[in-house]
Structure 1
Amino acid sequence: MSNNNAGLTSLTKDDPLADFAQHQVKLLDATKVVHVAGSGPAVIVMHEMPGISPQVARFARWVRDAGFTVYMPSLFGRDGAVPLADEGGQIFQRVCVSREFRVMAGGGTSPVVAWLKALARQAYLECGGSGVGAVGMCFTGNFAISMMIEPALKAAVACQPSLPLDDPAAIEMSDDDAKAIALRLQQDDLTVKAYRFDGDKFCMAARFETYAQAFGDHFDGTVLPDSAANPNTSPFFAQHIQSPHSVVTQHLIDRDGEPTLAARDRIVAYLMSSLVDK
């Protein structure tokens, strides 16, 4: 995979997302913008806080160029925008009180996951293949694993899953959902993957330990050293996220031999092995 094939726009300027088709998708009585590009089996790429940044779009293009149809729903924030400190802080506050997201422990699975599962069903009908993949990041990281209740989902990657914010050991899903996912992973012999930096203050080791307890050998967690993180980030991350955090976006170093780029390649390989018909 070329390291330059996603460099359509500057990572320090707003990305117009001109190479994505913009769709208004109505599911379960809710309409959201979904940016779609590529061909092949579907992969739902869910953006991190505070929105679809140029770095998130770059990752989506990497997935697209590997032979997938990317569905990138807009869940919050300003699409294509460089994450700015003040604007990002305001978006964070709005999301924390939104009824679609349960950001504190005890709330169970976020309601928006039902919409995302419906999107997976629609994407599978549209694209075929062996199933659908999901990649979540930060606020949406947990959603990728929560979506595994949906039979169309065959692969899930949780990058720095950060919810709930007030309990480092909790996983943002109901007990019933956790049990159902564990049963499904066992019966279908599927594995979910997760990535985090060792010193991440928003996704700590305790959360991965809980996932491992819930899903056993069907959970594959990878921890990257803090030294692998890109020190050059956008203003929102520089001010509000003061630890290595975003494995495949803000803190990725796009250079051969870098652990974050290797993580990207492992994610793509996992999607290929899970979704592409043999």
Structure 2
Amino acid sequence: MTTRPLDQDDPLDDFDHRGIALLGRKHRVYTMGSGPAVIVMTEMPGISPHVARFARWVRDAGFTVYMPHIFGVDGGVITTGRFLRAFPRACISRQFRAFQANESSPATLWLRALAAQAHQECGGKGVGAIGMCFTGNFALSMMLEPAVLAPVLSQPSLPLNDAAGMHIHPDELAAVKARMEAEDLTVLAYRFEGDKFCKAARFAAYEDALGDRFIGRTFPDSAANPDTPYKNPHSVVTIHLIDEAGQPTAQARDEILDFFRMRLSG
């Protein structure tokens, strides 16, 4: 993979820029690669160079990336100003229910439709999905779409006001669990031990609800990349990833890619 600077805005010029209309709503979606589809959902405040780097890793692993614009500046370096603009807008948007524990964000309906279309376009056994931070819980709700076989929750941070909340309607959670049992599926999840936005109580709630279908990984704060101004250990596969052999975050990335291969390829 060609290395691009992570401290400069990324033009995303190696992606195809598509406008995809589903359920009466049109969104910009960045696509690249070949093979089964993986939906990469950005963390706050938007598709940063770090998120784009992860998407390119997914492409290089043999998949077609679908990376929808959800909020923020596409390709923009994370700055305090961009965060302060994107975060309040997302919190009040009708597409997100940032403070509700037992509800699913309406945005997941469109993302499920995107997964169905991506599967139709790319083929394979099914579709993978990874959410991060603000979108971290979304991949679980997306399992209501039968095409989604490989959900990954990276530092799922909603609801913001309930550390043990799971941000999914109880009926949807029951349907997801029943599907997991029937099809022998699992969900992967990742967090840092000291993360202020994704605490141990949330993983405990998921484990209580899903049993051994939920595979949660918690890393010590010392595993987070210290060479960043964002000191709260949070973004497992983006800002706080250390791209070196043997590093826990690099191993997490590789485990995710292997998970996609296992579930989607063949």
TM over 0.5: yes
User: What is aligned with 2:264?
Assistant: 275
Indicate conservation of the 8 Å contact 1:6/1:58, yes or no: no
TM-score by length of 1: 0.94
Identity of aligned residues (%): 56
Q: Which amino acid aligns with 1:64?
A: R
TM alignment of 1:99-138, pairs within 5 A? 99-106=94-101, 108-138=103-133
Q: Are 2:192 and 1:200 equivalent residues in the alignment? A: no
Q: Are 2:249 and 1:263 equivalent residues in the alignment? A: no
Q: Secondary structure at the match of 2:136?
A: helix
Displacement of 1:149 in angstroms is 1.1
Displacement of 1:233 in angstroms is 2.5
Displacement of 1:32 in angstroms is 0.5
Match 2:141 to one of 143, 146, 150: 146
Q: Deviations over 1:55-112 (max 9, x none)?
A: 0000000000000000000100000000110121111011110000000024600000
User: What is aligned with 1:213?
Assistant: 208
Displacement of 1:243 in angstroms is 1.2
User: What is aligned with 1:248?
Assistant: 237
TM-score by length of 2: 0.98
Q: Which amino acid aligns with 1:142?
A: N
Q: Secondary structure at the match of 2:118?
A: helix
Q: Which runs of 5+ in 2 are unaligned?
A: none
Q: Which amino acid aligns with 2:122?
A: C
Q: Are 2:1 and 1:12 equivalent residues in the alignment? A: no
Provide the rounded CA distance (Å) in 1 between the counterparts of 2:199 and 2:147: 30
Provide the rounded CA distance (Å) in 2 between the counterparts of 1:93 and 1:44: 24
Indicate conservation of the 8 Å contact 2:164/2:201, yes or no: yes
Q: Deviations over 1:148-191 (max 9, x none)?
A: 11100000000000000000001011011111101010011100
Provide the rounded CA distance (Å) in 1 between the counterparts of 2:38 and 2:156: 18
Q: Are 2:161 and 1:166 equivalent residues in the alignment? A: yes
Provide the rounded CA distance (Å) in 2 between the counterparts of 1:14 and 1:156: 28
Provide the rounded CA distance (Å) in 1 between the counterparts of 2:233 and 2:137: 18
Q: Which amino acid aligns with 1:24?
A: G
Q: Which runs of 4+ in 1 moved over 4 A?
A: none
Provide the rounded CA distance (Å) in 2 between the counterparts of 1:248 and 1:83: 15
Q: Are 2:27 and 1:32 equivalent residues in the alignment? A: yes
Q: Which runs of 5+ in 1 are unaligned?
A: none
Q: Are 2:85 and 1:90 equivalent residues in the alignment? A: yes
Provide the rounded CA distance (Å) in 1 between the counterparts of 2:242 and 2:132: 17
Provide the rounded CA distance (Å) in 2 between the counterparts of 1:233 and 1:37: 28
